[in-house]
Amino acid sequence: QVQLVESGGGLVQAGGSLRLACAASGLTSSRYAMGWFRQAPGKQREFVAAISWSGGTTSYADSVKGRFTISRDNAKNTVYVYLQMNSVKPEDTALYYCAARIDTIIPTIKRRPIDYDYWGQGTLVTVSS
């Protein structure tokens, strides 16, 4: 059973940094692409960043490009995915979700929530001004 558990959320001042982590266990394939999404109160879930199963390709939402960095460590049956958040802004306040999907042999990047098969419960990030 695939399980994703996020951690690292909290309260941070604008301009500060935060590092989110996600542990994805129970994986049955080595080709899991990972993504981070976020959802603010009253808004739809939106794409933040994604990384291919190989780690060689990444993609970012325009709103976080240059400030956030996604990375991953592939261990046996467990994938660790990180989101380094720098120069955070009050508009980054949201519940952040880690997501996973089985990718093709040729790595691809997907940005829609519907493209992901597994989700964590989320970790709350609050940025104060």
What is the per-residue pLDDT for 27?
86
Q: Which residue from 31, 1, 6, 3 is spatially nearest to 97, judged by alpha carbons?
A: 6
- Beta carbons within 8 Å of 48's beta carbon, 6+ residues apart: 35, 36, 37, 38, 60, 61, 64, 68, 83, 96
User: CA 81, CA 61: separation in Å to the nearest integer?
Assistant: 17
Q: Cβ atoms within 10 A of the Cβ of 117, count?
A: 11
pLDDT tens-digit profile, the chain (129 residues)? 899 999 999 999 999 999 999 999 998 877 999 999 999 999 999 999 999 998 899 999 999 999 999 999 988 778 999 999 999 999 999 999 999 999 988 989 999 999 999 999 999 999 999
